[in-house]
Structure 1
Amino acid sequence: MPGTTAAPRIVVTGATGAVGRHVAQLLPADADVRLFVRDVAKARRMGLPGELVQGDHQDRPDLDRALRGADAVFVVTANPLRPADDENILAAARAGGVRRAVKLSWLGVADPAADGLIARWNRDAEALLRASGLDWTVLRMRTPMSNALAWAPSIRGEGVVRALGGAARSACVDPRDVAAVAVGALTGPGHAGRTYALTGPAPISVREQVRELSRVLRRPIGFEELTADQALARWRERLPEPIARALLEVAERRSTGASEHGEGDVEAVTGRPPASFATWAADHGPHFG
């Protein structure tokens, strides 16, 4: 009909991840949404709205199929040993006529002293985005509160959390808040060329998170401090050596207070303050039950 506006066509990469799943759920109901996923069965089990497009960031035909004719793309990559993933997504976006790209990054890159594998990978990805010719927005997030879900098996089975750096504090952020900012940047005006720092309202330590989960579950949960060697051994069990080492470096930097500072961009974009860990824990209590 004359005067009508076509529904925005938005591609979400990393759609089954901690932030991407919420982006998919928060996008406007009238949006034409494509979810680029490696595991279609997982996405279906999660009940995510939108068209599912199966593929890998290393496979250009898959990306071309997902991005062709889209207006905007949410760019999420997860492996610092695959730096070409961002380049592949952006190349397919340009070829497909995409105008807007919103990139999930890490707030640690704002610290000049952070120069490990993860920081360099995110800095390089941001540089690629800025040079892409697309209208870009960078979302630099602090540690997501959902990382605490990794403790669920030991909480359920043993009533204990084992972690490195129990006293280190971080202004960790609710992934739902990051997703709300992402949706604003994907669908609204005024975000091109902006870099947002996304944190929770206040720093909180691992020990304090455990106490909050204990309060939510109404039962005691113990905490056992891991040594650096013990933590590294655990990461090595499921991750390549360079990434395990990089995670240890991030944990050591966190112990110096590098992750404590909070930022106000969640509220600036969404109009509401970021959620506390207490709120996140109350909403996710059943996962630890």
Structure 2
Amino acid sequence: MQKPIALSIDTVNNSSVISYDNIRKGDTLQMTIKIFQNSGNLDLTGQKMHVVLNKPDGYSVEKIIQSVTGNQFIVNFDLQATLAVGYVVGIIEISNSNGTNITNDFTFEVKENPASNIIIQSSNQIETLQQIEALIATYNANADNLAVQNQLAIQNKADLTNLNSTAGNLADRLEIDISTGTGVAIRLEDDIAKGNQLDSNLKQDITQGTTLHNVLLVDITNGNNVADYLKTLNFEYIKSMFNLVEKLLDNARLTDESDNYLTDENGNYLTM
């Protein structure tokens, strides 16, 4: 059965008071511990507590509380704490961050329990030892793999060496590629500049060609006009020649540009 125990300890006068006295063999304990300093609350915030129960059969039970808030903390003990009948001497050790320890003790009695038949034997239950044993077990479990881990480390070192060598080669090739790429970029930039100049020249030639085309169109138009005019002149010339021939054949009188008859000084009409 779990027994709630209230324990008050004063670190100055080294006094302790337990509020429950009916503790039987095989009971579990829930101890609420309050720490005072000269009757005033002692702030234990951030401090570590060791609570050790020394049983009358010579075995001990230990609990470690890593951090406390205020002046109160709770510790739970299983039945191993009460498997020995008689007086149990408890020790509380308070450790602060500066390494200062305060130790106080208390006592309670474990009585026979006629109502239970407990077959579990009393033994030590030391958390510090349990932690050490756990570390040893972990080390032993890992020791078998140590040779394999060393071999893997050697292989990893070789792989790392090869990787560094490969990375160095890649870096060299990358540097060459960058240099080559820079040369190509420069040539490309030059080609682009030349292409831009050719494009400018081509646009200028197109402009000049357009101008020449327009001039040629004007010249063609003018030439057509001249041709049409010449055609008109030839027709009029031919017509006048036919008129002249007709007049010659008919002994016709000559006329001026206004079609007035031409005469000589005697007033005679001039004929062909």
Q: TM-score when scaled to structure 1?
A: 0.19
User: Which one has the bigger strand percentage?
Assistant: 2
Structure ID, larger Rg: 2
Q: Which structure exhibits the higher relative contact order, with contacts defined as CA atoms closer than 8 Å and separated by 6 or more residues?
A: 1
